[in-house]
């Protein structure tokens, strides 16, 4: 892999990552409702899920998903259902906020799991990585070192992009302190998750 090829990958992947998708909407939701710490933990979960997805793509799991419409549908709708569940749960939590209870309990494990499952339960991501990574891997050179370089680059890019979204959403959430404002934030957060679920559902 040449430096030019690597730089082209970084630029292309950064442009793709900036476009809001289920992971971005999940991070925004965590930032608005649970704050910066939860968002960072959620990002860590998403990155862990991304490593598994990229490894699966490298090992050829995407071929199975491409060949089996049932396997693809099962994984896809599991992701749709999970995001929809989180969205509905967030809206119900917002509705239950009493006038004095403006802080949502900290649950680090739940934040990590939410990010991880959002990253993993997306069969499109495996197929995407199979097609995208192959464009930047030189067949004549050892493939594993090239793949590891691209995977590390992808992880750093996603961490920076999601971190940027988390910072912006956290700054907005910090200005909303009243119970009524927090309820509205909770509704918006739930809507983001439902939007992510719908986005995943309509993609083919």
What residue spans define the domains of the chain? 23-30+37-202
Query: Each residue of 99-130: pLDDT tens digit?
Result: 444 455 556 688 898 889 888 877 667 777 77
Q: Which residues of 157-178 are buried (b: 16+ CB within 10 A; e: fewer)?
A: bbbebbeebbeebbeebeeeee
Cα(203)–Cα(31) distance, integer angstroms? 25
- DSSP assignment letter at 193: H
Query: What does the pLDDT read at residue 99?
Result: 45
pTM of the complete model beyond 0.75: no
């Amino acid at each position: 892999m040449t430096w030019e090829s690597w730089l082209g990958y970084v630029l292309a992947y950064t442009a793709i990552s900036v476009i809001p998708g289920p992971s971005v909407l999940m991070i925004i939701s965590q930032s608005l409702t649970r704050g910066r710490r939860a968002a960072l933990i959620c990002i860590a979960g998403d990155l862990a899920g991304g490593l598994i997805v990229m490894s699966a793509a490298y090992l050829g799991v995407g071929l199975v998903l491409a060949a089996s419409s049932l396997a693809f549908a099962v994984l896809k709708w599991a992701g749709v259902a999970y995001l929809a569940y989180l969205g509905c749960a967030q809206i119900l939590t917002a509705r239950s906020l009493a006038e004095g209870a403006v802080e949502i309990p900290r649950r680090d494990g739940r934040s990590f799991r939410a990010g991880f499952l959002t990253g993993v339960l997306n069969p499109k991501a495996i197929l995407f990585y199979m097609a995208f990574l192959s464009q930047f891997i030189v067949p004549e050179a050892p493939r594993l070192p090239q793949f590891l370089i691209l995977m590390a680059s992808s992880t750093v890019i996603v961490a920076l992009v999601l971190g940027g979204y988390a910072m912006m959403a956290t700054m907005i959430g910090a200005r909303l302190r009243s119970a009524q404002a927090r309820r509205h934030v909770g509704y918006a957060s739930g809507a983001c998750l439902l939007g992510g679920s719908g986005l995943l559902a309509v993609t083919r």
